[in-house]
């Protein structure tokens, strides 16, 4: 098993010329501690949420023992309480290192993925591999909820502003689910755009829809990784609107054959999200 040392984002392969390895190379994985960004949010000790980061890998290939290429899809779930995220370009380079690697079965590949990704994340991950004969069973679907994007609003700020968020603390609590496809942020290192859809489900004081949409659009020029953006959204809504239950789920479009879909909740009865990918994924 490879021993990983955690790193800062600026030392990652992002934004740098990288040679593609075609032989198995788990050392390519680049873990980054979660706590640095959580410190910015004032999150210390017990987290106000639990959840998972769901990765989908669409460019997974290896050789069987006779040298014939195999292709598959993979889904990797990384628990939100793991010490590290895995930087996405390093993840891509690692997966491509299997391209010319001979393995006796998909199970052998899965065992390596479980071993290496768990070591990098610092916690046990879950891996599902979908082989070619099951591709037809893959389905698409959109996030459920009331569409915030229907609102006709003026926008003049494109950085996160939690003070925009408002809730009605004078009325009885409600349960609502909102969806927006207008989430856009930028990579923390390269500044490249990241596009996503976000679903917010809550129970508590009724959240003002216009203020929530303005807040979400405010990420448009913000530089942070996907997982960090979702935790910022969760934390800001929790503090400003004080819901008793809150779930935030984002599905981001893929880059380099990978998409990342963070899910955070404080609701013990919350169901894990479905794995349906949306039209933009």
Tell me how far apart the alpha carbons of residues 225 and 8 are, in angstroms, rounded to a whole number: 13
Among 13, 52, 57, residue whose Cα is nearest residue 31 = 13
- 229 token code pair: 């953006």
Distance of CA 259 to the CA centre of its chain: 7
Q: Examine the residue annotation and report whether 229 is marked as an active-site residue of this protein.
A: no
- In the set 53, 187, 236, 241, the catalytic residue is 187
Catalytic residue among 194, 236, 241, 259: 194
DSSP conformation class of 99: T
Burial of 162 (0-12, 13-18, 19+ CB in 10 A): middle
| H or E segment and range at residue 168 | strand 167-168
127 pairs with which residues across the strands? Answer: 76
Report H helices in the chain: 35-40, 88-96, 106-121, 209-217, 226-241
Q: Is 187 a catalytic residue?
A: yes
Q: 269 exposed, middle or buried (CB, 10 Å; 0-12, 13-18, 19+)?
A: exposed
Residues with active-site annotation? 187, 194
């Amino acid at each position: 098993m490879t021993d990983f040392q955690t790193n800062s984002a600026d030392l990652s392969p992002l934004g740098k010329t990288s040679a593609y390895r075609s032989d198995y190379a788990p050392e390519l994985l680049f873990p980054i501690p979660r706590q640095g960004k959580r410190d910015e949010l004032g999150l210390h000790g017990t987290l106000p949420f639990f959840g998972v980061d769901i990765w989908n890998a669409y460019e997974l290939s290896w050789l069987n023992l006779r040298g014939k290429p195999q292709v598959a899809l993979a889904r990797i779930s990384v628990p939100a309480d793991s010490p590290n995220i895995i930087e996405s370009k390093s993840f891509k380079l690692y997966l491509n290192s299997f391209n010319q690697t001979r393995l006796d079965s998909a199970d052998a590949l899965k065992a390596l993925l479980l071993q290496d990704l768990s070591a990098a994340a610092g916690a046990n991950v879950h891996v599902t591999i979908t082989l070619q004969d099951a591709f037809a069973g893959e389905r698409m679907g959109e996030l459920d909820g009331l569409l915030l994007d229907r609102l006709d609003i003026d926008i003049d700020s494109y950085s996160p502003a939690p003070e925009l968020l408002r809730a009605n603390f004078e009325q009885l609590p409600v349960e609502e689910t909102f969806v927006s496809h207008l989430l856009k942020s930028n990579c923390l290192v390269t500044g490249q755009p990241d596009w996503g859809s976000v679903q917010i489900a809550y129970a508590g004081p009724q959240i003002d829809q216009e203020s929530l949409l303005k807040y979400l659009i405010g990420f448009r020029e913000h530089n942070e990784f996907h997982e960090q953006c979702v935790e910022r959204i969760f934390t800001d809504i929790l503090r400003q609107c004080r819901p008793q239950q809150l779930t935030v789920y984002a599905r981001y479009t893929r880059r380099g054959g990978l998409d990342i879909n963070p899910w955070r909740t404080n609701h013990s009865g919350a169901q894990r999200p479905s794995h349906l990918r949306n039209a933009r994924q």
